[in-house]
Structure 1
Amino acid sequence: MFAEKAPSNASEWSVSDLAGALKRTLEDAFGHVRLRGEVSGYRGPHSSGHAYFCLKDQNARIDAVIWKGSFSRLRIKPEEGMEVIATGRITTFPGSSKYQIVVESLEPAGIGALMAILEERRRKLTAEGLFASERKRRLPYLPRVIGVVTSPTGAVIRDILHRLEDRFPRRVLVWPVRVQGETCAAEVAAAIRGFNALEPGGRIPRPDVLIVARGGGSIEDLWGFNEEIVVRAAAESGIPLVSAVGHETDWTLIDHVADVRAPTPTGAAEMVVPVRVELMAAVGDLGRRHVESVLRMIERRRSDLRSTARALPTPDALFSAKRQRLDLAATKLYPALSRNARGHEERLLKLSRQLANLSPVASVARMRARLDAVEDRPRKAMDRMVENRAQKLDHMRQRLSTARAALLRQEVTRITQQHDLVIGLAERLEPALMGQIARKADRLDAVAHLFDSLNYKSVLKRGFALVRDSDGQPLRSADAVADGQVLVLEFADGQADVTGGRGTVRPKVSKPKLAIAEEQGALF
């Protein structure tokens, strides 16, 4: 038997209570931490919008989760193998007894990590062909409307407007965006797509060229222009796009996909419009040269016209040969007209003779002659046809009569044969039936004799009696009879009631009846 243990004073915990206490203790001790590690097991956001992965170093790993709301605000999205610094709080997940970090913000661990991300993203987009030179388009020479995507409060927009005013004033539409921070990439991409969504000729004019501009800064400040969403929006733009992000030494991914890269925002303004004064001077010079060339061409054409006029023949020289040909043709015209008239007259006479042969009167006369030639031939042909049909019908009637007689003879013969067959069967059936009846009667007599021989009433007829009790049950031995018991004796001619008893006194019977009873072996 087991020895009984002494009762303990320690309180009992449920699993849920213990898990909750551990969770509160861990969250109180590590409410806010910055954790450096390598992203492992990242497969992108879950269908719910949350992201699950691990952070690890050489000796340990910890589960990490980014909730949907925090994930959408991240400036740097996690990638497999990226070394990051995660800021968040440590908590537990009671469902699997694990602790994890709930990440609220994420940043790369140093400039080297950002450059590695940037190079990997550049290779990926290059492989897709977004940076191909074949996709680059020429800028319009003199755009009517210029769209600018930049911050409305910075010095960049003032530099662009001032430079445009100096060179060639144009209508400018500014789409205000944040040029750094967590929402920078989304706002810039939305601005590019928004300008492209404007309808040509609408209430808000659609720009002919776009400028995406920002001043200089560190790689972290310019990181929004390296985001994939901005690069893809620039690649999808149907409007030629100029990238003017940072200084001349600063390069971002939007510079590779843009149609033209400007070293500075001011340089972008110089690229999209020409100098108005220079353009006016060039136009004036071209106009002067055009007028001079037109005057020279007119003078040259006038000289050519004089030379051509001197080479032209006089009107008499032009019409003399034509007039002579006209006189010669007039002398030949009258004989030709006479010959032509005679030829047409002969042709008309020939046609009139042909028409007479084809006139309705001639046709009726020919038909009447053919009808007279026919006379009574149709009637005779009809009579012959009727006679032939009558002969054919008579021949057919004779054939049908002969066939009918032969068919009747065949049917009579068949019926006679069937009648003889039925008579033969009837003659054979009657003796067989009578013999079968006789056999059945003999079997019935034998069964009746057997029944009579086995019937107990035939035994009663030989002088025996059947003893029954008052209930009608037969008694087979003397031991079954009690004193004073009423018995029923059944004889061949009826029944009699007696009283039974067990004694030596026998009832007085006549000698002959007793002898007969003993001989028959009847029991009372």
Structure 2
Amino acid sequence: MFAEKAPSNAPEWSVSDLAGALKRTLEDAFGHVRLRGEVSGYRGPHSSGHAYFCLKDQNARIDAVIWKGSFARLKIRPEEGMEVIATGRITTFPGSSKYQIVIDTLEPAGIGALMALLEERRRKLNAEGLFAQERKRPLPFLPRVIGVVTSPTGAVIRDILHRLEDRFPRRVLVWPVRVQGDTCASEVAAAIRGFNALEPGGRIPRPDVLIVARGGGSIEDLWGFNEEIVVRAAAESAIPLVSAVGHETDTTLIDYASDRRAPTPTGAAEMVVPVRVELMAAVNDLSRRHMEATLRLVERRRSDLRATARALPTPEALFSPKRQRLDLAAAKLYPALARNARGHEERLLKVARQLAHVSPVANVARMRARLDAVGPRPHNAVCRSILLREESLKQIGRRLVVSREALLRAERTRLAQGHELTRRVAERLVPALQGQIARKADRLEAVSKLFDSLNYKSVLKRGFALVRDADGQPLNSAEAVLDGQALVLEFADGKADATGGRIGSRPRVAKPKLVAAEEQGALF
């Protein structure tokens, strides 16, 4: 018997109650905390928009979660291996009995960590070829429309507009964005892509060059221009882009991806347009030099033409030899034409005489003379040929009659010989067939007697019986009979049922056994 335990007065908790109590205790004890650690296991936001990862140091780790609303307000995004300072509240997740920190804000752990993150991101984007020199395009010499991505309320846009007005006034389109804060990166990237999405010749003109500008500040203030989304938008821009972020000593990742980096926003305005006064002076100087060069060229060509004209012979000197040659040729032409006509006439008469011998009239006369000379000879020759063919056919007919008679006599002789041979074979076939039938009958009688002597039913007639089991299988030994087994005894005049039982032996337990026996079986 087991000893009964003393009843305990400890209260009973359900799992849910205990999990809830632990959750309240942990949240009351810690509340909001600032936690420093390294991001581990970050794979980007979940499909729901929440982010799940861990914060760890050299000895421990804690689960972390950033809800969708807080994730959109973060100044920096968590990355694998980044050392950060997270501010949030400690709580538990009862579904897995774990405690975790729900992060509200996230910041890098010091300027060194931020610079390490910046360098790591720069190496990654450079490896993808976004900073390659061959990707950069030249700026247009004189753009018609300039797109500016900056804050509309700062001093940057005023500096750009003033510098453009001083150098060469152009049409400016400003896309207002926040240049600092949580939404800075997404707004700048959307502005660059928005300018590129404008259709050429549309209601809103598409800029020929873009300027992304911001004033100076700390690395945290300029961090939005180091975000990957901004760098990729700048690299994908089909419109040449000038980055003018911060002062001359400030460097952001958009500077590497842009087509040209300006030290200041004012410098960006100077890069995209030339000085109008200097351009007009250069055009006037080129126009003057072009006019002077044209006049000098015309004068030189006029002098060359006069010199060439003096060296040319007069028309009379040019045409006199040709006219004389023409007169001499005309004097020789008429005698030559007369000689040529006489020669052609002689050749024509010679050809006519030759044709007279082969004319159709002459040919018909010659053929008629030859036909008259032949006379009735062809008719006589045809009659003689017919008579010869008739005599030949008669001889062939006589030979065919003789051959047919000889063939018929030979065929009658062959048929008579075949009939005689058939008669003699028939006379020998009847005795042979009768002898064969007698031999087969004797053999059949012998085999029948042998079958009767070997048939087990002949043995049954002498007083024996054939033992079979219920399935009809023959049993050939007492060992095969089970105690109480149903048996069938076959006699010469019929069958009888019986029950098996062994005399003087211990009953055996029935077990299935397949007995193979011939139809004759074992007799007893």
- TM-score normalised according to structure 1 size: 0.70
Summarize deviations over 1:313-346 as a string: whole Å, max 9, x none. 1111121122122223323333444455566667
Summarize deviations over 1:440-475 as a string: whole Å, max 9, x none. 79999xx9x999999xxxxxxxxxxxxxxxxxxxxx
Q: Which amino acid aligns with 2:317?
A: A
CA distance in structure 2 between the partners assigned to 1:319 and 1:237 by the alignment: 74
Residue 45 of structure 1: CA displacement? 4.3
CA pair 91-342 structure 1, distance change in 2 beyond 3 A? farther
Q: Which amino acid aligns with 1:276?
A: R
Residue 213 of structure 1: CA displacement? 0.7
- 1:96-135 aligned at under 5 Å gives the runs 96-135=96-135
The alignment's C-alpha RMSD in Å is 4.8
Q: Which amino acid aligns with 1:86?
A: A
3-state SS of 1:20 partner: helix
Q: Which amino acid aligns with 1:316?
A: E
Partner residue, 1:477: none
**1:5 correspondence with 2:10:** no
**1:54 correspondence with 2:54:** yes
3-state SS of 2:141 partner: coil
- 1:220-369 aligned at under 5 Å gives the runs 220-338=220-338, 341=341
CA distance in structure 2 between the partners assigned to 1:309 and 1:453 by the alignment: 161
CA distance in structure 1 between the partners assigned to 2:275 and 2:461 by the alignment: 152
Q: Which amino acid aligns with 2:433?
A: L
Residue 248 of structure 1: CA displacement? 1.1
CA pair 9-365 structure 1, distance change in 2 beyond 3 A? farther
CA pair 168-357 structure 1, distance change in 2 beyond 3 A? farther
Query: More deviation in 71-80 or 115-124?
Result: 71-80
CA pair 450-189 structure 1, distance change in 2 beyond 3 A? closer
CA pair 225-312 structure 1, distance change in 2 beyond 3 A? same
CA distance in structure 2 between the partners assigned to 1:411 and 1:26 by the alignment: 132
Q: Which amino acid aligns with 1:228?
A: E
Partner residue, 1:22: 22
Partner residue, 2:208: 208
Partner residue, 2:470: none
Residue 350 of structure 1: CA displacement? 8.4
CA distance in structure 2 between the partners assigned to 1:282 and 1:268 by the alignment: 23
Residue 242 of structure 1: CA displacement? 0.8
Q: Which amino acid aligns with 1:245?
A: V
CA pair 361-11 structure 1, distance change in 2 beyond 3 A? farther
Residue 29 of structure 1: CA displacement? 4.1
Residue 243 of structure 1: CA displacement? 0.8
Residue 92 of structure 1: CA displacement? 2.0
CA pair 431-349 structure 1, distance change in 2 beyond 3 A? same
Q: 1:424 aligns with which of 432, 440, 456?
A: 432
Residue 247 of structure 1: CA displacement? 0.9
Query: More deviation in 337-346 or 351-360?
Result: 351-360
CA pair 450-355 structure 1, distance change in 2 beyond 3 A? same
Residue 170 of structure 1: CA displacement? 0.8
CA distance in structure 1 between the partners assigned to 2:98 and 2:131 by the alignment: 46
Query: More deviation in 269-278 or 125-134?
Result: 125-134
CA pair 6-187 structure 1, distance change in 2 beyond 3 A? same
CA pair 313-39 structure 1, distance change in 2 beyond 3 A? same
CA distance in structure 1 between the partners assigned to 2:7 and 2:132 by the alignment: 81
Summarize deviations over 1:275-332 as a string: whole Å, max 9, x none. 1122122212222222222222222222222222222211111211221222233233
Residue 209 of structure 1: CA displacement? 1.1
- TM-score normalised according to structure 2 size: 0.70
Residue 250 of structure 1: CA displacement? 0.8
CA distance in structure 2 between the partners assigned to 1:174 and 1:251 by the alignment: 23
- Provide the aligned length of Structure 1 versus Structure 2: 442
Partner residue, 1:520: none
CA pair 81-286 structure 1, distance change in 2 beyond 3 A? same
3-state SS of 2:80 partner: coil
Partner residue, 2:191: 191
CA pair 294-435 structure 1, distance change in 2 beyond 3 A? closer
CA distance in structure 2 between the partners assigned to 1:450 and 1:57 by the alignment: 104
**1:141 correspondence with 2:141:** yes
Residue 144 of structure 1: CA displacement? 0.9
CA pair 427-257 structure 1, distance change in 2 beyond 3 A? same
Query: More deviation in 423-432 or 142-151?
Result: 423-432
CA distance in structure 2 between the partners assigned to 1:63 and 1:374 by the alignment: 132
Residue 77 of structure 1: CA displacement? 2.1
Partner residue, 1:508: none
3-state SS of 1:324 partner: helix
- 1:341-420 aligned at under 5 Å gives the runs 341=341
Query: More deviation in 13-22 or 203-212?
Result: 13-22
CA distance in structure 2 between the partners assigned to 1:239 and 1:175 by the alignment: 15
Residue 412 of structure 1: CA displacement? 10
- 1:82-101 aligned at under 5 Å gives the runs 82-101=82-101
- 1:491-502 aligned at under 5 Å gives the runs none
Residue 93 of structure 1: CA displacement? 2.6
Q: Which amino acid aligns with 1:64?
A: A
CA distance in structure 2 between the partners assigned to 1:229 and 1:171 by the alignment: 28
Summarize deviations over 1:403-447 as a string: whole Å, max 9, x none. 999899889979986996576334432565488579979999xx9
CA distance in structure 2 between the partners assigned to 1:213 and 1:450 by the alignment: 126
CA distance in structure 2 between the partners assigned to 1:260 and 1:64 by the alignment: 41
CA pair 143-451 structure 1, distance change in 2 beyond 3 A? closer
Q: Which amino acid aligns with 2:245?
A: V
CA distance in structure 1 between the partners assigned to 2:64 and 2:459 by the alignment: 109
CA distance in structure 1 between the partners assigned to 2:139 and 2:353 by the alignment: 88
Partner residue, 1:472: none
3-state SS of 2:153 partner: coil
Residue 220 of structure 1: CA displacement? 0.8
CA distance in structure 1 between the partners assigned to 2:419 and 2:197 by the alignment: 103
Identity %: 77
CA distance in structure 1 between the partners assigned to 2:131 and 2:107 by the alignment: 27
**1:169 correspondence with 2:177:** no
Unpaired runs of 5+ residues, structure 2, are 464-524
CA pair 27-351 structure 1, distance change in 2 beyond 3 A? farther
CA pair 443-6 structure 1, distance change in 2 beyond 3 A? closer
3-state SS of 2:59 partner: coil
CA distance in structure 1 between the partners assigned to 2:245 and 2:230 by the alignment: 13
3-state SS of 1:143 partner: coil
Residue 110 of structure 1: CA displacement? 1.3
3-state SS of 2:203 partner: coil
Summarize deviations over 1:49-72 as a string: whole Å, max 9, x none. 544322112332111233455445
Residue 109 of structure 1: CA displacement? 1.0
Partner residue, 1:217: 217
CA distance in structure 1 between the partners assigned to 2:423 and 2:15 by the alignment: 108
Q: Which amino acid aligns with 1:124?
A: K
CA distance in structure 1 between the partners assigned to 2:99 and 2:436 by the alignment: 112
CA distance in structure 1 between the partners assigned to 2:357 and 2:145 by the alignment: 90
Summarize deviations over 1:28-63 as a string: whole Å, max 9, x none. 444433211111233444566544322112332111
CA distance in structure 1 between the partners assigned to 2:71 and 2:420 by the alignment: 111
Summarize deviations over 1:73-118 as a string: whole Å, max 9, x none. 4332222221101223322233332111233332111111111111
